[in-house]
């Protein structure tokens, strides 16, 4: 039977990064991926920051960048707000996730991690002083049922939004999800700006996007929060904007490819901790059981930005921590070390997620008229300057905190306070 210090379930950005760092720290490491190919199928708009590209540590970023974006245009019912990136350092990029993920996997292999594809982890069970993973494997050495057992000291669940590892370990991190859909299609593009469209009939509880990826080709998609939507299926909303939205329908040229649909986890609970500091609550991403342990990372741990739905940057960041800590626990033979993982990742992004959850909740309950008010406030000189200079897609809370101090927004909040407090 094969034995590893660390077995990572899932070969997405979080899993590859966790494996890379576990192997780098000296732990014998294996990634088990159910699909036949790393990075496929893609369920992502592929919009990431320069910081995220640096975090990936991939040298040849040209291999996966489709388009460098100069800024963003925000469309509400009555406003069109153009926000230009002040410097190349602040630019976002549209990437090819399939290539990006493969590069991350190669980096993990370079550090010594093994990867087995076409291997779906069916169960994670503790037996004695070890954890046995049963996988349905398309590889040799399986039993009559096509199953194989692998032994691990630490299992890292990087198996995405539906995380089976989380369920098997009894760690629940998300109760609610955004339902998302996206196509690639011909679209008239004037400039390399990402466009965001907000409004209850466009994408209730979230937003729609158009992301240029090549000359006159864009990714067009949206997410909805079904708790605040008349329909839980996002497809009719996409069909509607493609055929009826005054901006999108005019520029969308009809041909469609690469349809993809997926979910984004909304982390559970956020609250105010000691000294009024915002912090995450109820988040459990570590399980220790008599000499073995389980960690969750990436979407499996709901490590996503609630305001934008982006999870690639946080997944990689937390993957590094998970890998390092898992290796340390194995090499020291002390599973108590695993507790450090949750402390460290919450310290890095816990407050940002907690604050983001509050903004998400607010956006879900306000009217299109309120969204116009927000756009109006954002369009004013000082706010515009603040967004341009301090706006940050990975850490958006700074700008939102400033926005919440504006008298018009305070009035808007006061008007909506009851609905906000009683929102699901």
The answer to whether 118 contacts ligand FAD (rule: CB under 6 A) is: no
Q: Which residue has the tokens 């999870």?
A: 311
Pick from 43, 85, 131, 373 the residue near ligand FAD by CB under 6 A. Answer: 43
In the complex with ligand FAD, the residue whose CB is nearer, 47 or 354, is: 47
Q: Is the Cβ of residue 206 or residue 355 nearer to ligand FAD in the bound state?
A: 206
For residue 396, state whether it binds ligand FAD (rule: CB under 6 A): no
Q: How far is the CB of 351 from ligand FAD (least distance, A)?
A: 19
Q: Which two tokens stand for residue 171?
A: 């760690």
The answer to whether the CB of 47 falls within 8 A of the CB of 72 is: no
Q: Which is nearer to ligand FAD, 312 or 365 (CB)?
A: 312
Write out the binding residues for ligand FAD, residues 305-334 only, by CB under 6 A. Answer: 309-313, 315
Residues whose CB is less than 8 angstroms from the CB of residue 418 and which lie 6 or more positions away in sequence, other chains included: none
Closest CA relative to residue 31, chosen from 107, 104, 114: 114
Burial 285-306 (b: 16+ CB within 10 A, else e): bbbbeeebbbbbbbbbbbbbbb
Select the residue interacting with ligand FAD from 30, 46, 217, 366 (CB under 6 A).
46
Per-residue contact string for residues 248-267; x = within reach of ligand FAD by CB under 6 A: --------------x-x---
CB of 37 or CB of 186, closer to ligand FAD = 37
Among 124, 198, 280, 304, binds ligand FAD (CB under 6 A): 304
Whole-number Å distance between alpha carbons of 288 and 371: 45
Which of 2, 26, 35, 400 forms a contact with ligand FAD (CB under 6 A)?
A: 35
Q: In the set 5, 7, 8, 10, which binds ligand FAD (CB under 6 A)?
A: 10
Q: Is 164 one of the binding residues for ligand FAD (CB under 6 A)? A: yes
**Residue closer to ligand FAD (CB basis): 304 or 338:** 304
User: Contact with ligand FAD (CB under 6 A): which of 67, 113, 154, 158?
Assistant: 158
Q: Where are the beta strands (DSSP E) in 251-303?
A: 252-267, 270-272, 278-280, 286-289, 292-296
CA 339 – CA 319 distance, rounded (Å)? 15
* CB 313, CB 52: distance < 8 Å: yes
Options 4-12, 331-339, 359-367, 415-423: segment touching ligand FAD (CB under 6 A): 4-12
By CB under 6 A, tell whether 121 contacts ligand FAD: yes
- Closest by CA to 180, choosing from 232, 223, 227, 209, is 223
Distances (CA, A) of 96 to 41, 43, 45, 81, 103: 12, 11, 9, 27, 11
Distance of CA 119 to the CA centre of its chain: 23
| Binding residue for ligand FAD, selected from 6, 8, 30, 44, defined by CB under 6 A | 44
Rounded to the nearest 10 degrees, what angle do helices 97-110 and 13-24 cross at? 10
Burial class (CB in 10 A: 0-12, 13-18, 19+), 379: middle
Q: Does 234 bind ligand FAD (CB under 6 A)?
A: no
Stretch that binds ligand FAD, among 64-72, 157-165, 186-194, 239-247 (CB under 6 A): 157-165
What is the number of other CB atoms lying within 10 angstroms of the CB of residue 156? Answer: 33
Nearer to ligand FAD, 10 or 212 (CB): 10
Residue whose CB is less far from ligand FAD, 102 or 361: 102
Q: Are the C-beta atoms of residues 353 and 282 closer than 8 Å to each other?
A: no
The yes or no reply on residue 184 touching ligand FAD (CB under 6 A) is no
Side-chain half-sphere CA neighbours of 130 within 13 A: 14
Using CB under 6 A as the binding rule, the residues of this chain from 85 to 114 that contact ligand FAD are none
Give the shortest CB-10-to-ligand FAD separation in angstroms: 3
Count of residues engaged in binding ligand FAD, rule: CB under 6 A = 38
DSSP annotation of 398: H
Interface residue list for ligand FAD (CB under 6 A): 9-15, 32-35, 43-48, 120-121, 158-160, 164, 180, 182, 221, 262, 264, 298-300, 304, 309-313, 315
């Amino acid at each position: 039977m094969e034995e590893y210090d660390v077995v990572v379930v899932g070969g997405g950005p979080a899993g590859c990064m966790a494996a890379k760092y576990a192997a780098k720290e000296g732990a014998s490491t294996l990634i088990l991926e159910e699909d036949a190919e790393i990075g496929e199928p893609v369920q992502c708009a592929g919009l990431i920051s320069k910081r995220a590209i640096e975090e990936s540590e991939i040298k040849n970023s040209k291999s996966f960048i489709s388009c460098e974006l100069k800024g963003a245009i925000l469309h509400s019912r009555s406003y069109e707000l153009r926000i230009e990136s002040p410097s190349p350092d602040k630019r976002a990029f549209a990437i090819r996730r399939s290539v990006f993920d493969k590069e991350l996997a190669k980096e993990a292999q370079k550090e010594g991690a093994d990867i087995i594809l076409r291997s779906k982890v069916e169960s994670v069970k503790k037996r004695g002083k070890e954890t046995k993973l049963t996988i349905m494997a398309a590889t040799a050495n399986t039993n009559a049922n096509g199953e194989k057992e692998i032994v691990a000291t630490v299992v890292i669940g990087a198996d995405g939004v539906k995380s089976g590892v989380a369920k098997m370990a009894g760690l629940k991190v998300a109760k609610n999800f955004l339902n998302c859909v996206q196509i690639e299609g011909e679209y008239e593009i004037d400039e390399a700006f990402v466009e965001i469209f907000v409004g209850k009939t466009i994408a209730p509880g979230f937003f729609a996007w158009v992301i240029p990826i090549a000359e006159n080709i864009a990714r067009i998609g949206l997410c909805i929060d079904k708790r605040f939507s008349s329909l839980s299926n996002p497809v009719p909303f996409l069909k509607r904007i493609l055929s009826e939205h005054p901006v999108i329908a005019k520029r969308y040229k009809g041909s469609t490819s690469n349809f993809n649909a997926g979910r984004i986890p909304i982390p559970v609970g956020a609250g105010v901790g000691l000294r009024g500091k915002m912090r995450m609550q109820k988040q459990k991403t570590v399980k220790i059981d008599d000499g073995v342990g389980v960690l969750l990372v990436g979407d499996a741990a709901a490590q996503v930005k609630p305001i934008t739905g982006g999870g690639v940057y946080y997944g990689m960041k937390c993957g590094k921590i998970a890998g390092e800590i898992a290796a340390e626990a194995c090499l020291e033979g002390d599973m108590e070390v695993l507790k450090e993982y949750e402390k460290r990742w919450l310290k890095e992004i816990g407050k940002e997620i907690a604050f983001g959850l509050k903004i998400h909740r607010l956006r879900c309950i306000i009217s299109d008229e309120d969204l116009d008010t927000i756009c109006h406030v954002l369009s004013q000189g000082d706010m515009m300057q603040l967004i341009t200079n301090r706006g940050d897609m990975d850490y958006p809370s700074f700008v939102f905190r400033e926005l919440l101090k504006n008298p018009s927004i305070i009035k808007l909040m006061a008007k909506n306070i009851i609905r906000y407090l009683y929102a699901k």
